[in-house]
Amino acid sequence: MNWTDLNLIPAMPEIVLLSALGIVLLVDLWLKDSQRHITHYLSLLALVATAAAQWSVWQTDNITTFGNMYIADGVSQLSKMVMYAGLFTLFVYSKPYNQARNIFKGEYYTLSLFALLGMSVMASAGHFLVAYVGLELLSLSLYAMIALRRESARAAEAALKYFVLGALASGLLLYGISMVYGATGSLDFAVVAGNAFSGNANPWLLKLGVVFIVVAIAFKFGAVPFHMWVPDVYEGAPTSTATLVGTIPKIAAVVFSFRILGMALGSQAGAEGQSGWMQMFAILAVASLLLGNLAAIMQTNIKRMLAYSTISHMGFILLAFMSGVFGFSAALYYALAYVVMGLVGFGVLMLLSNEQHECEEISDLAGLNQRNAWYAFLMLLTMFSMAGIPPLMGFFAKLYVIQALLGSGYIALAVFAVIMSLIGAFYYLRVVKVMYFDPAQNEAPIGGCAAAKTLLSINALLLLVWGIMPKTVLDWCVQALQNVF
């Protein structure tokens, strides 16, 4: 095939993002530290231009290009728009925080945009190697970002631990992909699914490949027992970086898993692919819900508490994958809800941090209602939503997963998920108790710029608005999956 026959239009968002990233990188080379705000605004402009490119090529039909290696469909388009909006929000939140910690540098923005490019590639991958390249681009960017504070021993330790474990997970993924290739003779998702379904694949080699792939996916989700890096990274990394690690990549991980397990190794791939990974997901989900919630109860550091909370939330997403198409919709909705919740929670922590003090202990939130009732209310919305209290968005995220489980006959797992939600409510409500009933220990004025405070308020209120009208977002997720299968 001649290169001029390629249809580049579906990949226009990635082309625009990479071009804009190159411009940001070059301009930043010539800027002094006092002019770093130019990099900030250029990065925001790059995200707006990328989102506009995505909107301009938006379509309802599924399109493949680059020899079926790239897929443009509802799932990729919705997930990318969420990722663009999430990173835009994070850039606005993180500016005052990074300035106070001397990490307001071009590296933060360029590495974040590289991570976004990797996530975009993951979301549109139609081939195992493309998915792997996207995952590695994301991972390598995050490794460097975690260690941005060079003088921090905790950040260096967290980055090294994440790098070593991430490299191991990447190796396992690559090994699993090689086994899938050996079993089916292809790395194209559609061809793998077709060969497995028609019986033209080696069933035992395919099963072994699925095991390695699921282990790598579990690592990226931070699911038990591959969760060791999560609390250390959340605690050791700057809060602005921990926010990125803990929120936006979850959308990419859900779509990445959907591409590999739902399309290549899902129901259309026969029992060799489907039954094995579903059983593994059930075990991983139960372990994540149990350990995540119980460990979070014992934490006094709020970033570690949110880390273990994330592990339990990923357990819900893994459960959703077991319930077919509606389960995929529920998983996508849950990931979207978690991004919104996580951005608010970490956003408040960044707002409460200043040059002399890092807000990272639960006790640092003591008396927040006395200091600023509005920000206490925003954090309350986040904690209630994460706990699954109606009518907030987090309640409906959990409800849809439980409905999907019940609809698929997994009654015991649904009951277990409800029990774990009740246990999880304890540590979320403890944060609310500290904010509203404990005396303030820090009377310092709350900093932050007007743009960050305004966007944080809008971000938090979305939890309430989308909780009152949950069908709006769920319909987006259902429609995104309509023409995929």
Give the model confidence (pLDDT) of 47-67 as tens digits: 999 999 999 888 877 788 888
The answer to whether the Cα torsion of 440, 442, 443, 445 is positive or negative is negative
Q: Which of 113, 107, 101, 200 is nearest to 152 (CA)?
A: 101
Q: Report the candidate in 303, 378, 350 with the shortest Cα–Cα distance to residue 446.
A: 350
CA–CA separation, 232 vs 230, rounded Å? Answer: 6
pLDDT band at residue 484 under the 50/70/90 scheme: low
What does the DSSP 8-state code read for residue 147? T
Please tell me the predicted confidence (pLDDT) of residue 485: 56
Q: What is the value of pTM for the model shown?
A: 0.92
The overall average pLDDT reported for the chain is: 86
DSSP code string of 350-397: HHH--SS----BGGGGTTHHHH-HHHHHHHHHHHHHHHT-TTSHHHHH
> What's the pLDDT band for 275 if we cut at 50, 70, 90?
low
Question: Can you give the pLDDT at residue 402?
Answer: 92
Structure confidence by residue, pLDDT tens digits, 111-133:
999 999 999 999 998 889 999 99
Q: Give 290's contacts (C-beta < 8 A, 6+ positions apart).
A: 224, 420
Q: What per-residue string of b and e applies to 170-200 under the rule 16 or more CB within 10 Å gives b?
A: bebbbebbebbbebbebbbbbbbbbbbbeee
Q: pLDDT value at position 149?
A: 81
Beta bridge partners of 63: 72
- Is residue 268 over pLDDT 60? no
> What mean pLDDT is predicted for residues 264-269?
57
Give me the percent of the chain exceeding a pLDDT of 90.
Answer: 35
Closest CA to 215 of 284, 290, 160: 284
Round to whole Å and give the CA distance between 105 and 29.
11
* pLDDT confidence of residue 313: 92
pLDDT tens, position by position, 164-188: 888 889 999 999 999 988 888 888 8
Q: How confident is the model at residue 271 (pLDDT cuts 50, 70, 90)?
A: very low
Round to whole Å and give the CA distance between 457 and 477: 25
* Statement: residue 272 has pLDDT above 50: no
Reference 116, options 216, 239, 251; nearest CA is: 251
- Output DSSP code: residue 33: G
Find out whether 243 and 346 touch, Cβ atoms under 8 Å: yes
Q: Place 202 in a pLDDT band, splitting at 50, 70 and 90.
A: confident
Average pLDDT value for residue range 328-351? 91
High-pLDDT (> 70) share of the chain, %? 95
With a cut of 80, say whether residue 426 has pLDDT above it: yes
Position 5 scores a pLDDT of: 60
Residue bearing the bigger pLDDT, 196 or 88: 88
Residues 132-143, mean pLDDT to the nearest whole number:
91
Predicted local distance difference test score (pLDDT) of residue 2: 53
Output the DSSP codes for 286-301: HHHHHHHHHHHHT--B
Q: How confident is the model at residue 273 (pLDDT cuts 50, 70, 90)?
A: very low
The structure tokens listed for 131 are 């998915």
Give residue 259's pLDDT.
Answer: 86
β-bridge partners, 188: 127
pLDDT in tens, 348-395: 888 888 777 778 888 888 888 888 888 889 999 999 999 988 888 989
pLDDT of 138 reads 92
Sign of CA dihedral 259, 265, 270, 275: negative
Q: How far is CA 54 from the centre of its chain?
A: 20
According to the model, what pLDDT value does residue 270 have?
Answer: 43
Q: What is the pLDDT of residue 341?
A: 92
- The pLDDT assigned to 187 comes to 87
Place of tokens 């072994």: 208
Report the length, in residues, of the chain: 485
